[in-house]
């Protein structure tokens, strides 16, 4: 979900693993760019507010096996998940509370897990994969330290595609 740094790294790692990837976002221009990074299908949730059936269509009715939930749309992610699917909750840009029907988790045997920075060994393994496969992070813009307020305003605007960096040297 999304086209920020976390979502685009998830897209890149998923493609390394051979996954079919569906990206959901509100901008057609950014969805075209996500396809350029390897997204197999894209869904604009602004023009398709009921996006769950489109995710199911993109997965031949199966649903998503793994969902990286960055948007705070957990109840919809639950509906889009495949039987036995996994939802990694790593963000909540759309809000930090939700109401869910627990039967929708128990019936299809979904696993929902909060995601935070992992272990040192996991970090080292990720960096080996980045190096070996020459994965390049998607950086939207680099701001000098003195322009940090401008960088934060750029992030708040939602106009970025990928990471926003602040150069400290």
> pLDDT value at position 36?
96
DSSP letters of 89-152?
E--BTT-S-----THHHHTTT-EEEE-----HHHHHHHHHHHHHHT----EEEEEEGGGHHHHH
> pLDDT value at position 164?
95
> pLDDT value at position 98?
82
**What's the N-to-C CA distance of the chain in angstroms?**
32
pLDDT along the chain (169 residues), means of 10: 90 96 95 96 95 96 95 90 96 76 94 91 95 94 97 91 93
Name the CATH architecture for the domain at 5-137.
Answer: 3-Layer(aba) Sandwich (3.40)
- Tell me the per-residue pLDDT of 101-111, one tens digit each, with 9 for 90 and over: 999 999 999 99
Give residue limits of the domains in the chain: 5-137, 139-169
């Amino acid at each position: 979900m999304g086209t920020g740094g976390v979502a685009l790294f998830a897209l890149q790692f998923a493609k390394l693993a051979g996954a079919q990837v569906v990206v959901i976002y509100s901008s057609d221009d950014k969805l075209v760019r996500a396809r350029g990074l390897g997204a197999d299908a894209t869904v604009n949730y602004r023009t398709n507010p009921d996006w769950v059936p489109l995710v199911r269509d993109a997965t031949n009715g199966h649903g998503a096996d793994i969902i990286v939930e960055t948007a705070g749309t957990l109840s919809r992610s639950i509906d889009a998940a495949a039987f036995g699917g996994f939802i990694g909750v790593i963000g909540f840009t759309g809000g930090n509370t939700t109401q869910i029907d627990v039967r929708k988790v128990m019936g299809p045997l979904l696993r929902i897990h909060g995601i935070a920075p992992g272990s040192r060994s996991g970090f080292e393994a990720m960096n080996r994969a980045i190096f070996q496969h020459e994965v390049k992070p998607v950086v939207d813009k680099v701001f000098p330290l003195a322009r940090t307020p401008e960088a934060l305003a750029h992030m708040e605007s939602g106009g970025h595609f990928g990471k926003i960096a602040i150069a400290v040297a």
